[in-house]
Structure 1
Amino acid sequence: MRALFRAGGPAAALMKSFCALSFALSLTACGSSNGPFVRPPADSIAGGQKNSPAAAGAPAEHIGSGPVKVALVLPLTQASGAPSVVGASLRNAAEMALTEAGSNDLTLIVKDDHSTPDGARIAAQEALAEGADLIIGPLFAPSVREVGRLAHGADKSVIAFSTDASTGGKGVYLLSFLVESYVNRIIDFAASKGKKSMAALIPENDYGRVAEAAFQQAAARDNVRVMTIEHYQPQTLAAAAQKIAALGDQIDALFIPEQADAMPAVSTALTTAGLSAKKVQILGTGLWNDARVLKLPALQGAWFSAPENGGYNAFSARYHAKYGSDPTRIATLSYDAVSLAAALAHTQGSQRYSENVLTNRSGFNGADGVFRFLPDGANERGLSVLEINDGIATPISPAPHSFAGAS
């Protein structure tokens, strides 16, 4: 992945929006985005958002009337039966993508998985029985596993939204924001700037464990010495920060993969321990692209990796104009997946959603920037590196616009 961020050159030329030129596909004229999915808002319908019907076994909503059928398996309701703002936002973004693509090739079969694996299994069975050539969604990891198993048996591909990389695999491609991409980008960049001796402050949770594994792999690849990895829970955070501070000038960078809502406590612990970005280069992931993090004193001068802002901001403005409410942050995933499905339906023939097409090395360009699917189901994204100063995150290394020259 490192080679991607060294790749220069212009983005692939586009004949027109939403059409493929060879395999370098532009899904939207927008740029990139303003940060990753951290966790969805509370599941309640915001004003102006639509939620489709969809109890298991009930008639599905159909969007469009084209000959190519694509299933949209989404958590339109919670397991409790209450409506889901996340599911509604994903559904609306899909509709918007199909409208903006101007495609007459697709029919979207919208299915509610009720935020459960059983619901996802039933939804996928129904969609496949109705002739779906591709399944987009679901969101939650257990549901992705159920849908992937069924799709594999039917020899159909899935483009899912789980952030759990283990749910991906042959035929199940994750379009989500994966922590591995953030870690690779920020560690590669720091190494390119001469940072060769690092420590890590890792929260004891699932995100931290995934980030730690990616950090160790990236450090080994970049010949970076890892001096220490300190794990912490809230009650041990201060002591962990003190242990890192005791290393003094033995480290030149400190990696902290923490959620935005926990970063104020981390900043306090760093300050108490005498650590700041002025003394050691602090590194983070796209979860920091949050106003609460950008204003924290200890993080002024810190670097983190994230998509750029322009594409999501433009998408959000169009979404608000259409639906009268703001989208959830991950709505671009549904938008990009449907835009891709529409473009491939128009240009690729009967093999439109095959592994060879979906894993093309040139990748695709969506609302959150350039991305490509890997054969193991994971993805690579073109991310920028931003520096925090005076409460503002400013790009210091732009996101690439293509995978030209990438390995």
Structure 2
Amino acid sequence: MSFRKLVTGAALGISVLLAGCVNSPNFSSVNTPLQPDLNPNGQPQLVSGRAIGNGSVRVGLLLPYSGEGQSAASVATLFENSAKLALEDFQGADIQLLVKDTGGTAEGASIAAQQAISEGAELLIGPVFAPAVQGATAVARRSGVPIVAFSSDTNAAKPGTYLLSYLPVSDVNRIVSYAAEQERRSYSALLPNNAYGAVAEAAFRQAVGQTNGRIITIERYIPGNAEDIRARVASLSRSISQVDTLFVPEGGGVPPFVVQVMTEMGANLGEVKMIGSGQWNTPEILQSPVMVGSWFPGPDNQSFERLATRYRETYGSQPPRNASLAYDATILAAGLVRSAGPDRFSDRVLTNRDGFLGIDGIFRFQQDGLNNRGLAVYAVTGKREAEPIAPAPRSFAGQF
């Protein structure tokens, strides 16, 4: 199947998934955005700066072009390029992206959001970083304009500000539910003592409880401190005989180090399955011989590989995995304009329970701004590619 046909299918998927939401409810009570600033002729202000596309519905694209460090500019370019591909692939997209620089800061994002809204933006895509998301939210909320943002900081989510990023809760729910399906019932966890670890722990406790499992122990370590990690692993080792599953969500060198330390201490890991998060999808873990057979969740890679091929052919470089975020956000905006009429960006449409179909599979937004994703499960093989062992769900039916 060609990639353009795949995108058409995704657009149809948006229409199908929305069918129950759009055709039956009465949206007369849904708050509509405040009107943008108009010129004396009754038309929205002229666009200042660059715009992508020439559709009739304006959407802000807020990215950190002048943010500190090279990574900010790199992610801005990546997301803009991905958005351009989405508009090229979605035939007849009736949107125009208003490109605005947030500088990666709350103040810069506030100004960028105000500019986009005053020029008629009905939806904001971005910002990327949590402070910028919070700055844009303060402006957008006053105007009744929703945001689809890319921060992975769950504190940036709010009603009307929806995070499309990969969040710990979806990772934890998927990997724990899969472990339970494999009759795993006794868990321990090793978590970083930071904000991410706190979110992962809350989700872990809830997911284990919902699958009738039990938690033997949880240890928290100082991130980046090898001696503290060693001490926490030593503590875990004392009860490892009571455990059939060990949850270590942080990526990088932490999971292989955990196995190394436990082995040095003589812990019997024979029947213990190590499980992780989407942070494991890196060469350091995928190619580690001590991690072979361990499980982690992640989005379906097949569609992304097609997007990556398109990106390489167009821009001459391999895109990072998160390129799909800007692509999906743009496809979502175009799909809602086509399928949902004047209520396209209302809260009722954006938070429908059936969700949407994107490059990374199904996703849906919650009322609080967080998201749920349908994820696959992979096993580490010690090679460059992980082995898919459970497909991503095709709907949210039966998902907790």
| TM-score > 0.5 by shorter chain | yes
Deviation, structure 1 residue 270? 3.1
Q: Is this contact kept in 2: 1:267–1:296, CA < 8 A? A: no
Q: CA 1:133–1:185 in 2, change beyond 3 Å: closer, same or farther? A: same
Deviation, structure 1 residue 397? 1.4
Deviation, structure 1 residue 207? 2.0
Aligned to 1:86: 75
Question: Partner letter of residue 396 of structure 1?
Answer: I
The correspondence for 1:228, drawn from 197, 217, 228, is 217
Which shifted more, 388-397 or 346-355? 388-397
Counterparts of 1:122-161 in structure 2, within 5 Å, are 122-161=111-150
Answer yes or no: is 1:357 the counterpart of 2:346. no
Cα distance in 1 for residues equivalent to 2:331 and 2:370: 19
Aligned to 1:287: 279
Answer yes or no: is 1:63 the counterpart of 2:52. yes
Aligned to 2:300: 308
The correspondence for 1:393, drawn from 377, 382, 386, is 386
1:329-369 CA-partner distances (Å, limit 9, x unpaired): 21110000001101111222211111111111111111111
Aligned to 1:317: 309
Instruction: Indicate the RMSD between aligned Cα atoms, in angstroms.
Output: 2.3
Cα distance in 1 for residues equivalent to 2:130 and 2:7: 35
Answer yes or no: is 1:168 the counterpart of 2:157. yes
Question: Partner letter of residue 188 of structure 2?
Answer: A
Report the TM-score when normalising by structure 1. Answer: 0.84
Cα distance in 1 for residues equivalent to 2:240 and 2:75: 45
Q: Secondary structure at the match of 1:231?
A: strand
Q: Secondary structure at the match of 1:241?
A: helix
Answer yes or no: is 1:403 the counterpart of 2:396. yes
Cα distance in 2 for residues equivalent to 1:360 and 1:90: 25
Deviation, structure 1 residue 396? 1.6
Which of the two has greater helix per residue?
Answer: 2
Q: Secondary structure at the match of 1:260?
A: coil
Q: Whose relative contact order is higher, 1 or 2, with alpha carbons under 8 Å and at least 6 apart?
A: 1
Q: CA 1:104–1:292 in 2, change beyond 3 Å: closer, same or farther? A: closer
Aligned to 2:368: 376
Q: Secondary structure at the match of 1:78?
A: coil
Cα distance in 2 for residues equivalent to 1:122 and 1:271: 54
Q: How many residues align?
A: 364
Q: CA 1:305–1:16 in 2, change beyond 3 Å: closer, same or farther? A: closer
Q: Is this contact kept in 2: 1:237–1:269, CA < 8 A? A: no
Question: Partner letter of residue 191 of structure 1?
Answer: A
Q: CA 1:126–1:284 in 2, change beyond 3 Å: closer, same or farther? A: same
The correspondence for 1:187, drawn from 172, 176, 179, is 176
1:186-234 CA-partner distances (Å, limit 9, x unpaired): 1111122221111111122332222112111212222221111111232
Q: Secondary structure at the match of 2:187?
A: strand
Aligned to 1:51: none
Aligned to 2:229: 237
Aligned to 1:47: none
Answer yes or no: is 1:298 the counterpart of 2:290. yes
Q: Is this contact kept in 1: 2:241–2:268, CA < 8 A? A: no
Q: CA 1:240–1:84 in 2, change beyond 3 Å: closer, same or farther? A: same
Cα distance in 2 for residues equivalent to 1:167 and 1:83: 18
Q: CA 1:66–1:277 in 2, change beyond 3 Å: closer, same or farther? A: farther
Q: CA 1:239–1:23 in 2, change beyond 3 Å: closer, same or farther? A: same
Q: Runs of 4+ in structure 1 displaced over 6 angstroms?
A: 80-83
Cα distance in 2 for residues equivalent to 1:274 and 1:206: 32
Which shifted more, 356-365 or 132-141? 356-365
Which shifted more, 82-91 or 285-294? 82-91
Q: CA 1:91–1:261 in 2, change beyond 3 Å: closer, same or farther? A: farther
Cα distance in 1 for residues equivalent to 2:372 and 2:388: 19
Report the TM-score when normalising by structure 2. Answer: 0.85
Q: CA 1:198–1:63 in 2, change beyond 3 Å: closer, same or farther? A: same
Cα distance in 2 for residues equivalent to 1:14 and 1:402: 18
Which shifted more, 269-278 or 206-215? 269-278
Answer yes or no: is 1:207 the counterpart of 2:196. yes
Instruction: Extract unaligned runs of 5+ from structure 1.
Output: 1-12, 27-57
- Identical-pair percentage: 41
Cα distance in 1 for residues equivalent to 2:290 and 2:269: 6
Q: CA 1:134–1:244 in 2, change beyond 3 Å: closer, same or farther? A: same
Q: Secondary structure at the match of 2:183?
A: coil
Cα distance in 2 for residues equivalent to 1:17 and 1:185: 23
Deviation, structure 1 residue 82? 9.0
